[in-house]
Amino acid sequence: MPTRTGAAYFGRLAAERPDIALCRASADVARAAEAAAGKSGLGVGHHLVLKMLAAVGPCSQRVLGEELRIDRSVMVGIADELERSGYVRRERDPGDRRAYAVTVTEAGRRALAEAERAVPEFLDSTFAALTAAERDQLTSLLGKLLVTVS
C-alpha cells in the first residue's frame, strides 16, 4: 500500500504520464495475478494458453506466442510444462509440417475450469478500489488500447 505521500505522487503521475502509471499498475497486477494463479497450479501464461486453445482450437506455438504476447523461448517452456502435465498435446500441423499444433486435452479443460473459478474473487479483491461502473469503464478502455496499440 502506498503511503499518503506515495498515493498523492502516483495520482499526479497518472495525470501527467498515464503510460508510466499504466506500466506500474500493470506490473503490480501481474505480480498479484501470478501469485493467485500459482494457488491453482497454473501460472498466468499456462492459464492464458489453455484459455486461448479452449476458445479457438488448436494453434501453433508461434501463433500462441504472438497472440498472447509471450516470448518464443518462454512459450516453448510453457508448452513443454503443459504437455508434461497432460493438459495439451502437440502434433504436427497438417497445414505446415514444420510446425506443431497445440491442442488442449480434456485434463487441460478441467484444469482451466478449476483455475477460472478463482478469477472472480481475484478480480474483486484486486480492483476493490473501483466501483462496478469504474471497472466496466477500465475494461472498455483497456480493450480499446489493446486493439489500437498492438
Segment 119-132, tens digit of pLDDT: 888 899 999 999 99
| 101, 91 contact by CB (below 8 A) | yes
Strand partners, 89: 103
Q: How far is it, in rounded angstroms, from Cα 118 to Cα 56?
A: 22
Q: Rounded mean pLDDT of 132-147?
A: 90
Q: Look-up: residue for cell 474483486?
A: 124
Segment 22-68, tens digit of pLDDT: 888 889 898 998 888 888 788 999 999 999 999 999 999 999 999 99
Domain boundary assignment for the chain: 1-40, 41-117
For residues 40, 44, 48 and 49, what is the CA-based torsion angle, rounded to 10 degrees? -90
Q: What is the pLDDT of residue 15?
A: 83
CATH code, residues 41-117: 1.10.10.10
Q: What is the pLDDT of residue 150?
A: 60
Segment 71-107, tens digit of pLDDT: 999 999 999 999 999 999 998 877 777 878 999 999 9
